[in-house]
Amino acid sequence: MVQHYFFSAWLLPAGVERENFVRKVGDVYAVGQIAPALPAVRERPLPPAALEALQARFGARCTTALAVREQHGRDESAYTHIPPPAAVVYAESTADVADAVRIAAQWRVPVIPFGVGSSLEGHLLAVQGGISLDVSRMNQVLAIQPEDLTATVQPGVTRKQLNEAIRHLGLFFPIDPGADATIGGMAATRASGTNAVRYGTMRDNVLALEVVTASGEVIRTGTRARKSSAGYDLTRLFVGSEGTLGVFTEITVRLYPLPEAVSAAICSFPDVGAAVRTTIAIIQMGSPIARCELLDARTVRAVNAHSKLTLREEPMLLMEFHGSPASVQEQAEAVQAIADEHGGRAFEWATTPEERTRLWTARHNAYFAGVQSRPGCRVITTDACVPISQLADNVLAAVAEADAAGIPYFLVGHVGDGNFHMGYLIDPNDDTERATAERLNHALVARALASGGTCTGEHGVGLHKMGFLRAEVGDGALALMRAIKAALDPHDILNPGKVLLG
């Protein structure tokens, strides 16, 4: 049986014609059509001797069971029919990770770090085979230094787990991508989420790392000090590298005091444009708003159905304010006045923890609400981020193009920092819908880049955005990235086939 992989024609390797582009991965062939990008790959089988070495070292924690391999060979991306890894290794310590990588390096076998599998861009797919290195059992909070506002955790600790561990100290970790992702995965993709407008991204909140390199050596980068001028900033190099430069085994992150007062509000608007213009005015005013999230009417409708809410089914901003009681009230009143100027209506407050939790849980479930609105669909997500002054033009153009194409979609955005997501809901077996969604995605990203923005504000490059990365940074910067990759991973065993096209 011949199955199909799909890829964007404009992402093909130089000199390769689309109609002649046929790849073989194991016993599955890939025939080029316009849809999510999959690079040309070379199969790298797991040698029996390598598997024997892994089994001797890890025993039952190294498995080739198909069900386990399939679980580790898929994520939330729109890719289908990609073979799973050849084996899964469960690591429980830094020594486990180092030994697994050393064995893989000896036989030049790909190693793909795995947390909870919530990535959206194909980061953990075994496009060249190899082993999935599951670090979810490395889930200990190793140290909390409340006086310094730092914590050190293993990579399998999730953001909710960390916040539960520090809540009694009056502290919290603000990076909130929605899914209960692992701290290791969040650092690997340079994640951010709903709080980024005030607290920044993982780039700003990771102070130090313990990393296993491609040779199996354990190194440390950074310190718990708030700043340093000592040598190259290796911490920033590894954060956002998506598992292609090293495997994280410890992460030291910044913590923040829980705000004295928190208030959330929702406000509906006659159209998406009014909601976005309100956001721009709020940010340009210099408001220290903590969260500012956009949901279009389609998304609100899906969220109502999924979370059993009765929100007005109109474009909506969901906002949150942190600070002292007086400052929160002042911020909120100023924001409400701006919303009124742009046609905002039905401004409602959620001041109790229960009300706020209900609203933010619904927002975090927006992706799954969208998926549920079209049973059996897959989602091709966009992740553009633009300068705040360009936000309205980019969002409105994306909405107009999607409406004209007639494809089902939902729109959400961390619009306080210019980051928005179109989720195109496609039938995974309909090549025309895939092609339409990819065409819309391509146009959206091209427009964002022309506006001085980026192809990915928080999801990372993975497989899907490799061609976009070239368009964004240029061949010179891409060549430098390849040189760094070659220097740190000369045999290309760490999550190969991701991030760097060609």
Verify that 272 and 182 share a domain, yes or no: no
Verify that 372 and 447 share a domain, yes or no: yes
> How distant is the alpha carbon of residue 155 from its chain centre?
16
pLDDT for the residue numbered 349: 86
Which of 239, 257, 275 marks a domain boundary?
257
Pairing type for strands 131-134 and 111-114 reads parallel
Q: Put the strands of the sheet holding 111-114 in their side by side order.
A: 62-63, 87-90, 131-134, 111-114
Verify that 192 and 266 share a domain, yes or no: no
Verify that 93 and 159 share a domain, yes or no: no
In a domain, 479, yes or no: no
Q: Could you give the number of structural domains in the chain?
A: 3
Which of 79, 101, 134 marks a domain boundary?
134
In a domain, 339, yes or no: yes
Asked if 171 and 205 count as a contact pair (C-beta separation under 8 A), the reply is no
Verify that 271 and 373 share a domain, yes or no: yes
Verify that 282 and 409 share a domain, yes or no: yes
Q: Give the separation between CA 178 and CA 365, rounded to whole angstroms.
A: 8
Range of the domain at 153: 141-257
The beta-strand segments (E) located in 275-418 are 291-295, 316-323, 345-350, 378-381, 409-414
Verify that 249 and 130 share a domain, yes or no: no
pLDDT for the residue numbered 178: 77
Verify that 273 and 390 share a domain, yes or no: yes
Q: Give the separation between CA 383 and CA 448, rounded to whole angstroms.
A: 10
CATH code, 99: 3.30.43.10
Q: Give the separation between CA 150 and CA 144, rounded to whole angstroms.
A: 6
Q: Give the separation between CA 336 and CA 342, rounded to whole angstroms.
A: 10
Verify that 354 and 210 share a domain, yes or no: no
pLDDT for the residue numbered 365: 87
Ranges of residues in the chain with a pLDDT under 50 are: 1-37
pLDDT for the residue numbered 36: 42
In a domain, 320, yes or no: yes
Q: What angle do CA 411, 414, 417 make, to 5 degrees?
A: 135
CATH code, 232: 3.30.465.10
In a domain, 151, yes or no: yes
Verify that 290 and 358 share a domain, yes or no: yes
C-alpha neighbours within 13 Å on the C-beta side of residue 52: 3
Tens of pLDDT, residue by residue over 396-447, are 999 999 999 999 999 999 999 999 999 999 998 899 999 999 999 999 999 9
Verify that 381 and 304 share a domain, yes or no: yes
In a domain, 253, yes or no: yes
CATH code, 421: 3.40.462.10
> How distant is the alpha carbon of residue 478 from its chain centre?
21
